A = this chain, B = another copy of it.
Amino acid sequence: MNDYTTILREHNLKATPQRLEMTNALFMNGHVTIERLYELMLKKFSSISLATIYKNINLMLEASFIEEVKLPNAKSVYELTKETHSHLLCSKCDKVQDIVLNLTDVTRRASNAANFNISKTDLVLSGLCENCS
């Protein structure tokens, strides 16, 4: 019984082999699209249904066990929930990278300027990665 068995059960999700492999695929591959995840899953479960992927993605999203990252000009990617972070997207090689940034100053300024109570920030910085520039 690995880590994710417990976490899945804590969210009232049965720890099925398919789900454990999904979490493993996400852990190993980082940010993945639905179709990439389906490909990865097919390697281990040759007859898994795409519907199973979608159903589990949605259940795991509801449980905040995973998160969706919406990217400009690209399909959404999914990842295991971790520390709050921002994303770097390379517009040449499409690589997505995590970056932990302190955004308190920005959110404070926004909050003050617009009388807004900010609870979440989604930031994607696009450009060229180390390799591509």
Contact = CB atoms under 8 A, between A and B. Distances in A.
Interface of A: 68, 70-72, 86, 88, 90-91, 97, 99, 101-103, 105-107, 109-111, 113-130, 133
Contacts of A115: 129-130
A109 B101 CA distance: 8
Nearest to A67: B72
Nearest to A97: B114
A118 B126 contact: yes
Given A107-B125, A111-B127, A115-B129, 11 more contacts: A97-B114, A101-B109, A103-B106, A105-B105, A114-B129, A116-B128, A116-B129, A117-B127, A117-B128, A121-B125, A122-B122
